[in-house]
Amino acid sequence: MPEKKLFNMITEEMKPCLQGMFPSTIITCAKDGTPNATVISQVYYVDELHVALSFQFFSKTIKNVRENPLASVTIIHPNTCQNWTLDIEYIRSETEGPVFDTMDMQLEAIASMTGMSGIFKLKAADIYRVKSVLKNVCVPLRS
pLDDT tens digits along 16-29: 999 878 889 999 99
pTM: 0.85
What range defines the domain where residue 114 resides?
5-135
Query: Pick from 112, 102, 141, 136: which is nearest to 19 by CA?
Result: 102
Assess contact for 56 and 116: CB atoms under 8 A: no
Give the span between the Cα atoms of 21 and 127, in whole angstroms.
20
Residue 119 belongs to some domain of the structure: yes
Residue 140 belongs to some domain of the structure: no
Assess contact for 93 and 26: CB atoms under 8 A: no
In the chain, which residue ranges form alpha helices assigned H by DSSP? 59-67, 98-113
Q: pLDDT (tens digit, 9 = 90+) per residue, 27-68?
A: 999 999 999 999 887 899 999 999 999 876 668 888 999 999
Residue 108 belongs to some domain of the structure: yes
Q: With 60 as the cut, is the pLDDT of residue 143 above it?
A: no
Using 50, 70 and 90 to split pLDDT, how confident is the model at 116? low
DSSP state of 88: E
Q: With 50 as the cut, is the pLDDT of residue 1 above it?
A: no
Read off the CATH number of the domain in which 80 is found: 2.30.110.10
Using 50, 70 and 90 to split pLDDT, how confident is the model at 5? low
Query: Pick from 22, 26, 35, 44: which is nearest to 94 by CA?
Result: 44
| Residue 97 zone, left/alpha/beta (φ > 0; ψ -120 to 50; rest) | left
Assess contact for 90 and 128: CB atoms under 8 A: yes
Assess contact for 46 and 109: CB atoms under 8 A: no
Query: How many domains does the structure of the chain reveal?
Result: 1
Please state the length of the chain.
143
Residue 104 belongs to some domain of the structure: yes
Residue 61 belongs to some domain of the structure: yes
